[in-house]
Amino acid sequence: MNIQQIINRNMDPSLMKEHGKIPWDDPQISRRMLREHLSQRYDAASRRTKLIKKHVDWIHHFVLADQPSKILDLGCGPGLYSSRLAEFGHECEGIDFSPASIEYASTKAIQKKLACVYRHEDIRTANYGVDFDLVMFVFSEFNTFEPEDACLILAKSFQALKPGGKILLEVPSFDAVEQLGNQPSVWYSEKNGLFSDEPYLCLTESFWNEEDAIAIERYYVIEETNKDINLYINCTQAYEESQFISLMKSAGFRDIDFYPSLTGSQNQQLDGMFVIIASKSTAEERRCSI
Ligand SMILES: C[S@@+](CC[C@H](N)C(=O)[O-])C[C@H]1O[C@@H](n2cnc3c(N)ncnc32)[C@H](O)[C@@H]1O
- Quote the mean pLDDT of the chain: 94
Instruction: Tell me, in angstroms, the distance from the centre of ligand 1 to residue 76's CA.
Output: 6
Q: How distant, in Å, are the alpha carbons of 4, 128, 189 from that of 71? A: 50, 11, 40
Statement: residue 140 has pLDDT above 90: yes
Average pLDDT in the 232-259 region?
97
Instruction: Tell me, in angstroms, the distance from the centre of ligand 1 to residue 131's CA.
Output: 22
* Whole-number pLDDT of residue 50: 94
Counting atoms of ligand 1 from 1, which one is nearest the CA of 73?
Answer: 6
Q: Report pLDDT digits (tens) over 220-232.
A: 999 988 889 999 9
Of 185, 191, 222, 190, nearest to 206 by C-alpha is 185
Confidence class of residue 290 from pLDDT cuts 50, 70 and 90? Answer: low
The domains found in the chain, sorted by start residue, are 3-23+176-237 (no CATH), 27-172+240-280 (3.40.50.150)
* Whole-number pLDDT of residue 271: 83
Confidence class of residue 285 from pLDDT cuts 50, 70 and 90? Answer: very low
Average pLDDT in the 77-106 region?
98
In angstroms, the CA 290 to CA 147 distance is: 9
User: For residues 202 and 190, is the Cβ–Cβ distance under 8 A?
Assistant: yes
The pocket around ligand 1, CB under 6 angstroms, is made up of 24, 37, 45-46, 75-77, 80, 95-98, 101, 122-124, 138-139, 141
Instruction: Tell me, in angstroms, the distance from the centre of ligand 1 to residue 21's CA.
Output: 11
Q: Report pLDDT digits (tens) over 189-200.
A: 999 999 999 999
Question: What SS3 class is residue 188?
Answer: strand
* Whole-number pLDDT of residue 148: 96
Average pLDDT in the 111-115 region?
97
Statement: residue 283 has pLDDT above 80: no
Average pLDDT in the 3-23 region?
89
Q: How distant, in Å, are the alpha carbons of 90, 143, 203 from that of 65? A: 12, 28, 46
Instruction: Tell me, in angstroms, the distance from the centre of ligand 1 to residue 45's CA.
Output: 9
* Whole-number pLDDT of residue 79: 98
Average pLDDT in the 28-51 region?
92
Question: Where is 184: in which H helix or E strand?
Answer: none
